[in-house]
Amino acid sequence: MDTRSRDSRDAGGRTRAVVTAGARGLALAVVALTGSITLFVLSVVSIALVPLGIGIVTTPWVLTGVRAFADWRRLVAAQWCGVRIPRAYRPLPEGASPWGRAFGLLGDPATWRDLGWLLVDMTAGFVTALLPAALLIYPVEGFALAAGLWRVFTDGSRVGWWYGFVPVSGQGSALLAGLLGAALLAAAYVLTPPLLRCHFLLTRAVLSPGQGELAERVRVLTETRRDAVDTSAAELRRIERDLHDGAQARLVAMGMDLGTVEALLDKDPARARELLAQARRNSVEALGELRDLVRGIHPPVLAERGLGDAVRALALRLPVATEVSVELDGRADAPLESAAYFAISEVLTNAVKHSGADRIWVDLHHVPEDGGQLRIAVTDNGRGGAALGAGSGLPGIERRLGTFDGILAVSSPAGGPTMVTMEIPCALS
């Protein structure tokens, strides 16, 4: 009984995987054709208008959209088939002019790989995405012909319809079409998930840096290390400033009050008691500021209870109703947990400040395939319009995650909802 039940569950799981792969392939085919053609045409027109000056303004926006589209494909490749596609864009300087942004993007080899990928995606990518769905859908026609609908299709002619390589002209040939449909359906049961994976392998072959991948990887690591050092230095300056202007000033004032109390203890006891009460208030405020400062460096709940509980505690302090879903079987390394926590914190802060949302959802889960991936999704029902560009705060999060080979993708159509998805390679212990 247990063996039959287990076999039944395995067969059901395999069937769901096949149907899911077919549905995903169909969705990808539609997106590949419409999205790639639209973005490629917009890119070509915008770049062609650069000499006239109009493209200087439009090109950064269009190419940012191309990168967002490619990032979305990277994300679903990792989530659906475990295919990791490296992201190797050169960072743009903060506060760059439209001219600097346009030529910075056009001077990045990854931009031209993206444009070449759009061409492949609207042709071979469309076909490889459609194949898994076609293997599932096409057998339905064979079964319909075998069931007698061949009369409708042939309309009384000798050979009025072809199903694959079978000419359907009567019930006998219609049954052959049904057998061919059954064979195709059996092939779909085996081939549909691998065919979907082939689509993403094709995407990776075009989007990856290729022979210069090692040099590109070294460059990206150098930049992310520099960003990490700059971020650490800025954080250290912030801590020093907060200590100097906050807790340190209160402690100095408390010391002076206690000195005055000592001098007034015999002469003016009432005044001494007032100063003691003030010193006590200063000590409480200084302690609170020190706790806030320590929480900003590394929240105690993060160190003691892990990322999931730390995010739950963070959500409780937000003024917007926030639901947190956590599926983590262990803990990641402390530096990675800290980076993920502060990335989530900044995304939530942006959502509260700018989205106008009244509800936020946070989902954290770990996928063990390919060495393990920590996947985080923050969704709000706000007005949308968020973009991975300068001034949004998202580039800083992207640089923080880049230190750990993480990627960030943003989906935020006008009118919402907004979904910020983060993925960081890691193993849990």
Residue 7: is its pLDDT beyond 50? yes
Strands annotated E in 169-297: none
Lowest mean pLDDT among 18-32, 39-53, 197-211: 197-211
* Residue 91, in any domain of the structure: yes
Q: Which amino acid is located at 110 in the chain?
A: A
Which helix (DSSP H) or strand (DSSP E) does residue 322 occupy? strand 321-327
* Average pLDDT score over the chain: 80
| Cα–Cα distance measured from residue 205 to residue 212, given in angstroms and rounded to the nearest whole number | 13
Mean pLDDT of 199-218: 76
Lowest mean pLDDT among 26-40, 104-118, 333-347: 333-347
Question: Is there a single domain that holds both residue 20 and residue 112?
Answer: yes
| Predicted pLDDT of residue 44 | 94
| Cα–Cα distance measured from residue 36 to residue 313, given in angstroms and rounded to the nearest whole number | 41
* Residue 71, in any domain of the structure: yes
Mean pLDDT of 43-58: 91
Percent of the chain predicted with pLDDT > 70: 79
Question: Is there a single domain that holds both residue 51 and residue 166?
Answer: yes
Mean pLDDT of 205-220: 68
Distance of CA 312 to the CA centre of its chain: 20
| Predicted pLDDT of residue 87 | 79
The pLDDT confidence band at residue 280, using thresholds 50, 70 and 90, is confident
Helix, strand and coil content of the chain, in percent to the nearest 5, comes to 70, 10, 20
The residue range of the domain holding 285 is 219-297
* Residue 246, in any domain of the structure: yes
* Residue 37, in any domain of the structure: yes
Distance of CA 262 to the CA centre of its chain: 60
Lowest mean pLDDT among 70-74, 105-109, 151-155, 325-329: 151-155
- Of 180, 185, 177, the C-alpha closest to 151 is 177
* Residue 311, in any domain of the structure: yes
Mean pLDDT of 157-186: 78
Bridge pairing between strands 161-163 and 407-411: unpaired
pLDDT one-digit tens code per residue, 281-319: 777 776 766 665 555 556 777 878 888 888 998 888 888
Question: Is there a single domain that holds both residue 68 and residue 150?
Answer: yes
Name the most confidently modeled range: 166-170, 247-251, 387-391, 421-425: 421-425
- Of 343, 350, 323, 364, the C-alpha closest to 407 is 343
Select the more confidently predicted residue: 382 or 4: 382
Q: Is the peptide bond before 413 cis (omega within 30 degrees of 0)?
A: no
| Predicted pLDDT of residue 91 | 74
The pLDDT confidence band at residue 429, using thresholds 50, 70 and 90, is confident
> Is the distance from CB of 419 to CB of 379 less than 8 angstroms?
yes
* Strand, helix or coil for residue 419: strand
Residue 213: is its pLDDT beyond 60? no
Question: Is there a single domain that holds both residue 15 and residue 150?
Answer: yes
| Predicted pLDDT of residue 161 | 77
Domain end call among 297, 313, 329: 297
* Residue 186, in any domain of the structure: yes
* Residue 213, in any domain of the structure: no
The pLDDT confidence band at residue 1, using thresholds 50, 70 and 90, is very low
Bridge pairing between strands 321-327 and 166-168: unpaired
Q: What is the DSSP letter of 95?
A: T
The pLDDT confidence band at residue 130, using thresholds 50, 70 and 90, is very high
Maximum distance among all Cα pairs of the chain, rounded to whole angstroms: 122
DSSP letters, 20-54, are HHHHHHHHHHHHHHHHHHHHHHHHHHHHHTGGGTH
* Strand, helix or coil for residue 168: strand
CA-to-CA separations, 106 to 145, 165, 399, in angstroms, rounded: 54, 48, 21
Question: Is there a single domain that holds both residue 330 and residue 254?
Answer: no
- Of 94, 275, 278, 111, the C-alpha closest to 207 is 111
Who's near 412: CB < 8 A, 6+ residues apart?
A: 384, 385, 386, 387, 418, 419
| Predicted pLDDT of residue 203 | 93
Question: Is there a single domain that holds both residue 193 and residue 259?
Answer: no
Question: Is there a single domain that holds both residue 191 and residue 62?
Answer: yes
Helices (H) and strands (E) in the chain, counts: 14, 7
Question: Is there a single domain that holds both residue 67 and residue 173?
Answer: yes
Who's near 29: CB < 8 A, 6+ residues apart?
A: 126, 129, 130, 133
Domain end call among 172, 188, 208: 208
Which helix (DSSP H) or strand (DSSP E) does residue 421 occupy? strand 418-425
Question: Is there a single domain that holds both residue 26 and residue 124?
Answer: yes
| Predicted pLDDT of residue 388 | 67
Question: Is there a single domain that holds both residue 68 and residue 169?
Answer: yes
Percent of the chain predicted with pLDDT > 90: 20
Domain count, the chain: 3
DSSP letters, 350-418, are HIIIII--SEEEEEEEEE-GGG-EEEEEEEE-S-----SSTTSSHHHHHHHHHTTT-EEEEE--TT--E
| Predicted pLDDT of residue 9 | 60
Who's near 371: CB < 8 A, 6+ residues apart?
A: 425, 427
Residue 212: is its pLDDT beyond 60? no
Select the more confidently predicted residue: 129 or 181: 129
Domain end call among 154, 186, 208: 208
- Which pTM was predicted? 0.58
- Of 342, 328, 313, the C-alpha closest to 429 is 328
| Cα–Cα distance measured from residue 313 to residue 31, given in angstroms and rounded to the nearest whole number | 38
Question: Is there a single domain that holds both residue 270 and residue 383?
Answer: no
Report the CATH number at residue 357: 3.30.565.10
Mean pLDDT of 231-260: 66
* Residue 214, in any domain of the structure: no
Question: Is there a single domain that holds both residue 237 and residue 195?
Answer: no
Residue 390: is its pLDDT beyond 60? no
Lowest mean pLDDT among 3-12, 90-99, 104-113: 3-12
